[in-house]
């Protein structure tokens, strides 16, 4: 049963450019422009009308955009919940001008071992993450540690939790690695069991819906769980709407000043009908789209995701914004 028929999240790609070369990602290989303030204002205006609640300014590396603080301020003034994930290379330099503008600030960390994390990211950024955690806290922020979990590093969660997360009283987000376009990988059953156990710990977030979906073999085209196109708005740096999703996108539609009209156009509606039903959708477990999908339809994954979702939003205080809006 569908609970929410409006999109709840926007993945807004400020640029595809990145100053890292992560082994499990191919976005840094793409040439890319940067989004403009004019387009941001127009699109956020329309997304407010559409009912979107959360704007994820993403990339690439979002801090490469020198006007990121401007976009965040616009979003906050319009009442959106904002989120940014960064590799932290540029946070010590530009982070102070972002203070107070990001509701969910995530610093990516894949290993408690400097050399291993740097190897995973293809650039020396471990020390920047550690420095950024301290700087963010000194500026009154409550950043999260985003740990991308693979079958190889799952045993390191304990060290990250005990040595980095708990001493700083920061939320540890466990982000299961997913596979797409020959990048990433699937998780072993033992890793899924580990993740489920960790989700019961204080200051640890893992969406149990992710775990259950993987155990069920992912999305199935004959009965799709994925509601990517109808729950999530994806905007490219070229100011185009991607449907049905970024990773498996079939079409990019120029926005041309009216995202609202485009999103509800006949052409877009026809593409939305394909969400979760394309051949490439079989077995998909991509977190970016499953999380909002779990939020809009009442099914077993809605119930699986609910406790961790409530836990995180209570800890972060974002429930206040959701309730007031």
Confidence label for 1 from pLDDT (cuts 50, 70 and 90): confident
Give pLDDT, residue 21: 80
Q: Give the alpha-carbon dihedral of 91, 92, 97, 98, to 10 degrees.
A: 30
Q: Is residue 86 part of a domain?
A: yes
pTM over 0.95: no
29-39: pLDDT as tens digits: 677 899 999 99
Confidence label for 320 from pLDDT (cuts 50, 70 and 90): low
Q: Is residue 4 part of a domain?
A: no
Rounded to the nearest integer, the mean pLDDT of the chain is: 91
98-114: pLDDT as tens digits: 999 999 999 999 999 99
Q: Is residue 3 part of a domain?
A: no
274-300: pLDDT as tens digits: 999 999 999 999 988 999 999 999 999
Domain tally, the chain: 1
The DSSP secondary-structure symbol of 299 reads S
Q: Is residue 226 part of a domain?
A: yes
Confidence label for 179 from pLDDT (cuts 50, 70 and 90): low
Determine the Cα–Cα distance for residues 129 and 274; give it in Å rounded to an integer. 39
Q: Is residue 2 part of a domain?
A: no
Order across the sheet with 54-58: list the strands. Answer: 204-205, 172-176, 144-149, 104-108, 81-86, 54-58, 9-13, 232-235, 240-243, 251-254
64-88: pLDDT as tens digits: 999 999 999 999 999 999 999 999 9
Q: Is residue 275 part of a domain?
A: yes
Q: Is residue 100 part of a domain?
A: yes
% of the chain surpassing 90 pLDDT: 79
Which structural domain range is residue 66 located in?
Answer: 9-324
**Among 50-54, 176-180, 182-186, whose mean pLDDT is lowest?**
182-186
Given a contact cutoff of 8 angstroms between Cβ atoms, the answer to whether 80 and 53 are in contact is yes
Averaged pLDDT for residues 55-64: 96
228-246: pLDDT as tens digits: 999 999 999 999 999 999 8
Gyration radius (Cα) of the chain, Å = 18
CATH number at residue 295: 3.20.20.70
102-160: pLDDT as tens digits: 999 999 999 999 999 999 888 999 999 999 999 999 999 999 999 999 888 899 999 99
Q: Is residue 1 part of a domain?
A: no
Give pLDDT, residue 57: 98
Long-range contacts of 187-196 (CB under 8 A, 24+ apart): 187/149, 187/150, 187/151, 187/154, 187/214, 188/151, 189/215, 190/151, 190/154, 191/149, 191/150, 191/151, 191/154, 194/154, 194/155, 194/157, 195/149, 195/154
Using CA of residue 69, residue 71, residue 74, residue 77, what is the dihedral sign?
negative
Give pLDDT, residue 183: 44
């Amino acid at each position: 049963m569908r609970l929410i028929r409006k999109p709840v999240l926007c993945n807004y790609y400020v640029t595809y450019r990145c100053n890292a070369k992560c082994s499990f990602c191919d976005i840094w290989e793409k040439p890319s422009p940067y989004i403009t303030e004019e387009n941001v204002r127009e699109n956020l205006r329309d997304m407010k009308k559409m009912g979107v609640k959360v704007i994820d300014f993403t990339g690439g590396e979002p801090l490469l955009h020198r006007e990121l603080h401007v976009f965040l301020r616009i979003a906050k003034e319009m009442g959106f919940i904002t989120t940014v994930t960064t590799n932290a290379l540029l946070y010590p330099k530009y982070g102070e001008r972002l203070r107070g503008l990001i509701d969910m600030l995530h610093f990516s960390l894949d290993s408690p071992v400097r050399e291993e994390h740097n190897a995973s990211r293809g650039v020396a950024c471990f020390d920047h993450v550690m420095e950024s955690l301290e700087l963010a806290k000194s500026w009154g922020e409550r950043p999260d540690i985003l740990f991308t979990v693979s079958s190889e590093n799952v045993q390191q969660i304990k060290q990250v939790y005990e040595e980095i997360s708990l001493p700083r009283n920061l939320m540890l987000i466990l982000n299961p690695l997913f596979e797409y376009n020959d990048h990433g990988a699937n998780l072993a059953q033992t890793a899924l069991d580990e993740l489920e156990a960790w989700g019961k710990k204080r200051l640890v977030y893992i969406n149990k819906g992710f775990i259950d979906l993987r155990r069920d073999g992912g999305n199935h085209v004959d009965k799709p769980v994925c509601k990517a196109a109808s729950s999530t708005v994806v905007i490219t740096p070229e100011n185009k709407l991607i449907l049905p999703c970024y990773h498996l996108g079939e079409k990019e539609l120029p926005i041309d000043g009216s995202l609202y009209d485009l999103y509800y156009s006949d052409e877009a509606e026809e593409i939305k009908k394909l969400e979760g039903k394309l051949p490439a959708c079989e077995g998909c477990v991509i977190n970016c789209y499953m999380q909002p999908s779990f939020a809009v339809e009442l099914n077993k994954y809605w119930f699986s995701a609910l406790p961790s979702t409530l836990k995180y939003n209570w800890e972060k205080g974002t429930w206040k914004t959701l309730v007031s809006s």
